[in-house]
Amino acid sequence: MEAAAVATAAKKRKSNRIEGQDAPRNRDGDEVLDLISRLPDEVLCTIISLLPTKDGARTQAVARQWRPLWRSAPLNLQVDYQLSGQDRKRFLIVPKILADHPGPARRLSLPDIRLRNRYAKIDGWLRSPALNRLLELEFVYEMEDRLQPYPLPPSVFRFAPTLCVAEIGYYNFPNEMAPSLNFPCLKQLTLDRVSLSEDALHSLLFACPVLLSLLLDEIIGIGRLRIISKTLRYYGPAKIRVVRAPKLEILGLLPKGICKETISLSLTTSMQTVKVLALVSVGPNLASVIDFLKCFPLLAAAIYQREFFF
């Protein structure tokens, strides 16, 4: 009789797991889960969409009523070590997720992805219907040769009508496509070690009418940069590194957010030909300004604007 009771109890526990329930939890854990489960499905879907991909999918095993929620929640697809510690396995898992989840997708994150001979596979991912109406995109190749970035798949631009946040890294931007692009919803743009022309960058920024934040880091292929925007609230990086400018004669207007110490160190060795300088400073720091001007031995004219905050 005792053996039969044990077998019955084991069978019941197994049945509970099959029904999508974990092993018995402590009382506090049960109460918390009950409280969360009482939330509307719309709220639960929002919570699930903010979780890492693997954790979001695992919520299907919490309880029976949670099973359909992951497929109903906007897809948050992060192809990183949290999905799998092995690069090969990640490339096997992603197609299964895209086939299993109907979309729409909230975020696609491909940080430091290894291209190798997988260009066609990645392009296929990007064309998946599950990624329709994508809102956030992080697409960064693993760097092998910083002077020879990989080409950016044209399929990336199918997300242009809906993208709100985009981070692109280590790519060769298709300059010929820039004039035809339009990003009506894009508010945050990061370009990291991207190779593109000056005209392409201007066309890209012109195509972002509501852009609020712009970060440019180690851009390749641009000899000069001029940014005019009525919407930008933040532009980075906050440091400018000048590698070589042997013929530069006019510099400015340098905004108050620029790190003058970093510029000074670079200018003393690379831009001693500057004759006209314009800068903005905050507060009564005249001594620092004088030290900064010493970096330009051939300076003939300086435009200095000082701002005060009360």
Taking the CB of residue 64, how many other CB atoms lie within 10 A of it?
11
- Residue 47: inside a domain: yes
How far apart are the C-alpha atoms of 149 and 193, rounded to whole Å?
Answer: 8
- Residue 56: inside a domain: yes
How far apart are the C-alpha atoms of 182 and 208, rounded to whole Å?
Answer: 7
- Residue 92: inside a domain: no
pLDDT of residue 263: 53
**Helix 260-270 × helix 286-293 angle, to 10°:** 20
- Residue 51: inside a domain: yes
Q: Which amino acid is at 279?
A: L
In order of 2, 258, 281, the CA distances from 287 in angstroms are 89, 17, 11
- Residue 265: inside a domain: no
Domain boundaries, position 54: 38-73
How far apart are the C-alpha atoms of 137 and 193, rounded to whole Å?
Answer: 16
188: enclosing H helix or E strand: strand 188-192
pLDDT of residue 262: 47
How far apart are the C-alpha atoms of 227 and 211, rounded to whole Å?
Answer: 12
In contact, 105 and 130? CB cutoff 8 Å: yes
**Helix 87-100 × helix 119-126 angle, to 10°:** 30
- Residue 296: inside a domain: no
Q: Is the dihedral of CA 204, 207, 188, 164 positive or negative?
A: negative
The residues, any chain, with a CB within 8 Å of residue 215's CB and separated by 6 or more, are 189, 190, 191, 192, 235, 236, 237
What residues pair up with 251 in beta bridges, in sequence order? 277
pLDDT of residue 240: 59
Each of the 310 residues of the chain gets a pLDDT tens digit; together they read: 444 544 454 444 444 444 444 444 455 556 656 677 777 778 877 888 888 888 878 877 777 777 778 788 888 898 988 888 888 898 899 999 999 888 788 999 998 888 778 888 999 999 999 999 999 999 988 766 666 778 888 899 999 999 999 999 888 888 888 889 999 999 999 998 888 898 999 999 999 999 998 888 888 888 777 777 788 876 755 555 655 667 777 766 655 555 454 454 455 555 677 888 777 665 556 777 777 777 777 777 777 665 543 3
The pTM score is 0.67
- Residue 58: inside a domain: yes
pLDDT of residue 271: 63
- Residue 159: inside a domain: no
Residue of 194, 190, 199 whose CA lies nearest to 218 = 194
Where helices occur in 59-174 by DSSP H, the ranges are 69-72, 87-100, 119-126
Whole-angstrom Cα Rg for the chain? 27
19-69, pLDDT tens digit by residue?
Answer: 444 444 455 556 656 677 777 778 877 888 888 888 878 877 777 777 778
Q: Which amino acid is at 8?
A: T
Question: How many structural domains is the chain composed of?
Answer: 1
How far apart are the C-alpha atoms of 86 and 144, rounded to whole Å?
Answer: 19
